[in-house]
Copies of this chain bind each other. A is one copy, B any other.
Amino acid sequence: MSDIFPVVVGIDFDAEAIWTGRQPELANRPVLLSHGTFAVRAGLAPLLALLAEHRIRATFFIPGATADRHPEAVRAIHKAGHEIGSHGHAHRPVHTLNAEEEKKELVGGIDSIERVTGSRTRIWRSPSWEWSARTLDYLLAEGITVSTNFHDTIRPYRHMRDGKPVDLVELPVQWHLADAPYFMYGGQIGRVIHASAEVERIWMEEFEAMYDWPGTFFHLTLHVQLIGHPGRLAMLNRLLHRMRARPRTRFFGSAELAATIA
């Protein structure tokens, strides 16, 4: 693998679940939910078109509740050849759940995806990027083989249990390579909207420097409702062109890259 530089594009397709997962009472706020609906109604189609144009296979992380609510959109993603990962069921943060709830969220999310796509996913990203002390056992029991949650390094690695490697590869993520810190807003005090060109600058700073570090990979995290706006997609298009212009760049689905890890 040392002669190539892997890039993985992980995309959260949360839709309304991003709001209702933490606070179910927000179901009564249709305008707030409409920020999530944007993913389904406006953002998804041009994002899929852009990925197709670049011939990139991405990994979409989808809450079960979103698959239940928007099965056609999920089938469109699946049909376009992208990997589908589970993103919990109702987008509830793992560290706020008891054992039974965590299990139910995990299994329920995987089940919903299977009902819509016909196949059982082995890729998982927790809602809100957290694990509990139980999560490793639960993931192994459910046959999950790829996790995209930890921030502890910039190289893929295999999880360990009792000092021994297990059948679960971690593809670590970084907040500064996600779109949420720069584009998530929703009118909340404390959030700041950045120019797309500024985000491109931050991501390319990291890409250029990382490109020459052996064993690393570039792991981009997007949200359909945030990146799926015209100006931001134009930036993503520029970014993908710039990455592809480097000779060693290769795009991987999460499971594809994980399969190369010893």
Interface residues of A (CB under 8 A from B): 28-32, 34-35, 37-38, 41-42, 46, 95, 126, 128-133, 135, 149-155, 172, 174-176, 181-183, 185-198, 201-202, 205-210, 213, 216, 229-235
Specify how many copies of this chain sit in the oligomer: 4
- Which residues of B are found within 8 Å of A176, using beta-carbon distances? 183, 185, 193, 229
- Which residues of B are found within 8 Å of A132, using beta-carbon distances? 28, 30
A168 to nearest B CB, angstroms?
14
- Which residues of B are found within 8 Å of A187, using beta-carbon distances? 128-129, 175
Q: Determine which residue in A30, A95, A132 has the highest number of CB atoms from chain B within 10 A of its CB, and name it.
A: A30
Given known contacts A176-B229, A189-B191, A195-B202, what 20 new A-B pairs fall within 8 Å (CB)? Answer: A28-B132, A29-B95, A29-B130, A30-B131, A37-B151, A38-B151, A38-B152, A42-B152, A46-B213, A175-B187, A181-B192, A182-B193, A195-B198, A195-B205, A205-B234, A206-B229, A206-B230, A209-B230, A209-B233, A210-B231
| Residue contacts A-B, CB under 8 angstroms, 21 given | A29-B130, A30-B132, A31-B150, A32-B130, A41-B152, A42-B155, A128-B187, A154-B229, A175-B186, A175-B193, A176-B185, A176-B229, A181-B185, A181-B192, A181-B193, A190-B190, A206-B229, A206-B230, A207-B231, A209-B230, A216-B230
